[in-house]
Each structure stands twice: as C-alpha cells, then as structure tokens.
Amino acid sequence: MLQKTGVTNSMNEQHESQKPALEPISPQYDPWDPIRSKRAFGEHRLTSVELTVTNLCNMRCEHCAVGESLSMTEGPKIPLSVILKRLDEVEGLETISITGGEPSYHERTVRDYIVPLLRYARERGVRSQINSNLTLDLSRYELLAPYLDVMHISFNYVNADDFHEVGFVNSARQAVRQTSAKLYERMVENTVALSRAGMFISAESMINYRTYEKLAPIHRLIEEMGCRRHEVHPMYPSAFASKLPVLSLDQTRAAINRLLDSRSRELWMLFGTLPFYACSELEADRELVKRLRSEPNVTVRNDPDGRNRLNVNVFTGDVFVTDFSDVPALGNVHADRFDEVFARWKSHPLCRTVDCFCPAAACCGPNLLVADTYYKHLDFTTRQAVV
Ligand code: SF4
C-alpha cells in the first residue's frame, strides 16, 4: 500500500494562481514531439533545449544515460545570464528540459539556477520539464511547483528491493539496504504528495532485462501514486548501461503487447525511442505500430534527440545533440548561438543517416542509438512506411 502525505493546499493554490492559461500537456498536445515543427515547416527546427545543471547524484542507477559523467564534486556553473541570452536567441523555442545528475541535489542550485530558469520559461510561454529521482526533501520540489510543467521521474520497481538493485548497483559505497529502502519510501511519498497537490508527474519505465516481465505491476503502482503519465522506453546500451544485456526485438515487442493488454485506459501512456517502424518487413512490427496508434490514451513520441533538441552542459558550455550519444560537442555556449550549432548538426553525415520522414505513419525515423543497436546495416532513407 502506498503511503500518503499531506501537502498544504496553499501550494496547490499558488501553483494555479501563478499559471497563465497555457494549453494543457495532453495526448493531443505534446510540445516535445519533433513532428510538430516538421509538419509546420517541412523541416526539423530547434524548438527544445536541455540543460545539464549538475553532475552530482545521490543514486547510481545501472541504466543511467549520463552515468559515466557523474561525480562527487563540481566546479562553478556558467552564469545564468549567459544561458538565458542564448535561450533568448532561439526564436522557435517551445520547451526546455532540466537534467543532471539529480538537479535538486543542492538546494542552492534549485533556488539560484533552476527556479529562475523555470520562471523565464513560464514568462515566455515555453514549457518545462525536470528529470528528478524525487528522493530528496519534499520542500525542494515544492519550490519548483509554481513554474514547472512536467516532473519526470524514473520508475522501474515493484518494491524497495528492486529500487536497491537498480539504483545502487554502480555505487562505490554500496548503499545499505535500509538506507535505500528509506529513499524508496520517500520517493513514493513525494510522488503521491506532489501529484495530489496538482503537479504533473510523468513516470518513465525502461523496458530492459530486469523490467520486461513486470511492466504491468510497475504500471499499476505508477497509477496508484497519482502520476498523470506513464512513459515507456526500451533501454539501449549507453554509458553505464553499455554492458547490460540487450533484449531481442521479439522480447521487447511482446513486453509492449502485454503491457497494452493489462494497462489502465485512464492513464496516458507515452511510448518513445521505439525500435518498431511502419516500414518494417515484419508484420508483427507493423501490427504493433498500428495498435499503438489506435489505442485510446496512448501516444508515440518521435525522438527529440537529433531532431529538434540540443543539450548544453552548464559547466563547460559544450553543446551536444543528445546527452548520451557518442557524438562529440558540436559547439560551445560561449562562442556559438544554439541555432548555429543546430545547423551544424543538420549537415553532419550522421544526421543524414536517420533523416527519414513518413507523414502517413507520423514517423520521423529512428533514434541514432536504436539504429545502431538493431539496424546497423539498414538505410532508412530508402524506406517507406506501409500503411
Ligand atoms: S520515417 Fe523512416 S523509420 Fe519511420 S516508417 Fe518511414 S522510413 Fe521507416
């Protein structure tokens, strides 16, 4: 049974009163999906900037996309004014995402960097997301509530033991089970409390060797905690996760079908970075693509990495196409406008390899890691959706 905590109504009221009327994030409106600008302008445009605001984290998850860069200490950040100036230059900016590490690791970062960033976004009508593990003091997350659109958490567990296995397997100091059980409880309590207070919490589960047979109970817990969306992504080998076993396409497809069979139809499910496309020669793939498109309250997001998003590291100023691919930095915030870096990426040979688009299937092509994992020798630019 999930524990419930009380957060005062004032947080809820403050949250509502400071929000101008913005279109609700919903299955019909997902501003992170690159297909929106592709449809509007006939080309991919930069609409999204992700900011890595810390390399510190109290966990060491085995699937962590940025695991290798996590550290114990870190230097000064680039002044926020420099970052805001660069964001200002992006005319078509629609979303920002704040990531780490655990962005809330230091309360000072929350107060001095994240809250001003979120305020800037809110004033500009730019939508915002934070990736957090929600295991720290509730008060840190309450500070974000008035300005934040989406609180994104990872949730791959059915109990505290799972959490311990997944979250501390890479920890130099092996977390004592009791300590990790407390963190798990706090994460669940925080999720329940913040959801009740009106925060939009999107819980992401990975489909991997640990989770693929228990996605249904994970989904139920996510719904019980009051999350507004369950995000599901297969796990691909990168950073810490590069040594983990990769599921076969058959295992992944079966896991998704089982989850769709057992899910709650009341809860929005967002699938992303899927390795199944409407151009597949396999009927089972095309059937799954069709099923995902026709299920109520289910959406498939095209991948922002390499399509409409850049990532900036606020310590070095380096700008990347994604926060976890092997593509080196394509520019630096001290020297380049984000639009210039994005233009550089669009003429990069790697970008061209996955630059396909089938409007009838609402598909903008595969993610680079996906193509590299499962379709190394396939030229997507010569393929066409079968619909
Ligand atoms: S856009 Fe690319 S990956 Fe998607 S269906 Fe078309 S050819 Fe296949």
Average pLDDT across the chain, whole number: 90
Least confident residue range of 58-62, 253-257, 282-286: 58-62
Residue 58 has a pLDDT of: 81
This prediction's pTM: 0.91
Residue of 277, 292, 370 with the most ligand 1 atoms within 8 Å of its CB, for mutation: 277
d(CA 39, CA 116): 32
Residue of 353, 375, 383, 387 with the most ligand 1 atoms within 8 Å of its CB, for mutation: 383
pLDDT digits (tens, 9 = 90+) for 200-255: 999 999 999 999 999 999 999 999 999 999 999 999 876 656 678 899 999 999 99
Ligand 1 atom, smallest distance to 381 CA: 7
Centre of ligand 1 from the C-alpha of residue 306, in Å: 15
The architecture (CATH level 2) of 9-382 comes to Alpha-Beta Barrel (3.20)
Q: 363 pairs with which residues across the strands?
A: 358
d(CA 170, CA 63): 10
Mean pLDDT of 256-281: 98
Residue nearest ligand 1's atom 2 by CA: 365
pLDDT at 1 > cutoff 60: no
Residue 369 has a pLDDT of: 86
Token pair of 217 as six digits: 């109970």
Centre of ligand 1 from the C-alpha of residue 18, in Å: 41
| 370 within ligand 1 shell (Cβ under 6 A) | no
| 278 within ligand 1 shell (Cβ under 6 A) | yes
* Domains of the chain by residue range: 9-382
Residue of 44, 300, 363, 374 with the most ligand 1 atoms within 8 Å of its CB, for mutation: 363
Asked whether 273 and 370 are in contact (CB, 8 A), the reply is yes
Mean pLDDT of 351-364: 94
Residue 104: strand, helix, or coil:
coil
pLDDT at 321 > cutoff 80: yes
| 279 within ligand 1 shell (Cβ under 6 A) | yes
pLDDT at 266 > cutoff 50: yes
Q: Whose CA is closest to 27, among 299, 301, 364, 359?
A: 299
| 365 within ligand 1 shell (Cβ under 6 A) | yes
Mean pLDDT of 317-325: 77
Mean pLDDT of 4-21: 48
Asked whether 183 and 154 are in contact (CB, 8 A), the reply is no
Residue nearest ligand 1's atom 8 by CA: 279
